[in-house]
Amino acid sequence: MKPIALAALVVASAARAESPIERALPDLEVHANVFATDIQPVNLEIMAGTKLLHLFLNVGAGRSSAFIAGGGLGVHLGDRLWFDADASCSIYQALTGLQETDLIMGLRGSVGVQLHPRVSVFMGPAAYTELSFAPNQILHASALAPVVLLAPPTGGGGWQFWAGLQAGVRL
């Protein structure tokens, strides 16, 4: 009976060993960010990727009878004190009136500090561009005033550019 148990242990150990393909792939990480921005006060973001590169999906709500949803990619540098740089593209959807939709593109930078092995806090600046499609008027997505507003004198549509802020918790 002992040889059978020993053989089962060897087989089980070999099955648990990593294959050469698994050893060649970097470890994948998944994080959730809960944060506030000048666009929406409540945002949830799911990030997945390697230690250096990540993809994310996010949704946000809580202001102006509208929501935001989108995704993007980013770079993560550091460990306990870290820096993230992200590029995103999202829709900004009004929930009143004609149900207008604008497109928001953003570049974000954030500095974070790991407080616990699974909890970090972060904050940083962002630069946003919002595109409104004619004949709709521009939806002012941010609580902050735009730095540049390019809109035709008649009709709708146009562009606006502004600097924003973000702060939150990463789990």
Burial 38-72 (b: 16+ CB within 10 A, else e): bbbeebebebebeeeebebebebbebbebbbebeb
The residue type at 166: Q
**Structure pTM?**
0.78
pLDDT of residue 8: 57
CB 141: neighbour CB atoms within 10 A?
Answer: 26
Q: Where are the domains of the chain?
A: 27-170
What stretches of 19-157 adopt beta strand conformation (E)? Answer: 29-37, 42-49, 53-63, 66-78, 81-94, 101-116, 119-132, 148-150
pLDDT of residue 96: 77
Structure tokens, 166: 């973000």
CATH architecture label of 27-170: Beta Barrel (2.40)
Nearest to residue 112, comparing CAs of 171, 43, 44, 26? 171
Q: What is the average pLDDT score of the chain?
A: 84
pLDDT tens per residue across all 171 residues of the chain? 566 655 655 555 555 555 565 565 668 889 999 999 988 999 999 999 998 999 999 999 987 788 999 999 999 999 899 999 999 999 988 887 767 788 999 999 999 999 988 899 999 999 999 988 877 777 777 777 788 877 777 777 888 899 999 999 999
CB 125: neighbour CB atoms within 10 A?
Answer: 13
pLDDT of residue 7: 60
Going by their DSSP bridges, the two strands 53-63 and 148-150 should be labelled as: unpaired
